[in-house]
Structure formats: structure tokens, C-alpha cells
């Protein structure tokens, strides 16, 4: 059984005062948040990279608390969005 969500009158009044742009930003953020939960098909690739470059990249990604392959995917996504 799904949970029922209840909204306060204050929240509903706040929502009624939102501009179209604010609503679109909220919906886009909601879409992005939930899209990340869906496991998308992935493709295994092979890539030749200079050993020193990979070592430094892995180290820097680790200092951010990320795995280097995750960081590569993030950078690819940012590149496509720019």
C-alpha cells in the first residue's frame, strides 16, 4: 500500500504563489532526482589512458570521496550539458 501525503495549508498557499518558472524548475529537479534512481543500461568500454594520468585522476577522485569511473561519468554528463 502506498503512503498518503498530506500538505499543510501554508504549503498549499506557498505553492499557489509560485511562478511558472519556479514550478518548472521544481518539476525538472524532481525529474532529475527520480531519473537517477532508475538503473539505465550501461555499456562496458575499454579505454587506453596514460598510466600516470590515470593514477593522478584516481587519486584526485579519491580525495573527493568518489571512485574514478564515477567521476569520469560525471564529467561526461557535464560536458554534454554544457
pLDDT digits (tens, 9 = 90+) for 20-47: 999 999 898 888 877 766 677 889 999 9
Contact 61, 71 (CB under 8 A): yes
- Give pLDDT, residue 3: 76
Contact 70, 58 (CB under 8 A): no
- Rounded CA-CA distance 28/46 in Å is 33
- Provide the residue ranges of all domains of the chain, joining segments of one domain with +: 9-38+46-81
2 band by pLDDT with thresholds 50, 70 and 90? confident
67 CB contacts (<8 Å, ≥6 apart)? 61
- Give pLDDT, residue 47: 93
Q: Using one digit for the tens of pLDDT, what is the confidence trace for 45-74?
A: 999 999 999 999 999 999 999 999 999 999
**The model's pTM:** 0.51
Amino acid at each position: 500500500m502506498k503512503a498518503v501525503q498530506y500538505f499543510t495549508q501554508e504549503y498549499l498557499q506557498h505553492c499557489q504563489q509560485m511562478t511558472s518558472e519556479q514550478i518548472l524548475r521544481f518539476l525538472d529537479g524532481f525529474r532529475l532526482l527520480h531519473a537517477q534512481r532508475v538503473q539505465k543500461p550501461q555499456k562496458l568500454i575499454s579505454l587506453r589512458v596514460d598510466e600516470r594520468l590515470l593514477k593522478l585522476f584516481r587519486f584526485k577522485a579519491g580525495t573527493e570521496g568518489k571512485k574514478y569511473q564515477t567521476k569520469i561519468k560525471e564529467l561526461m554528463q557535464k560536458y554534454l550539458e554544457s
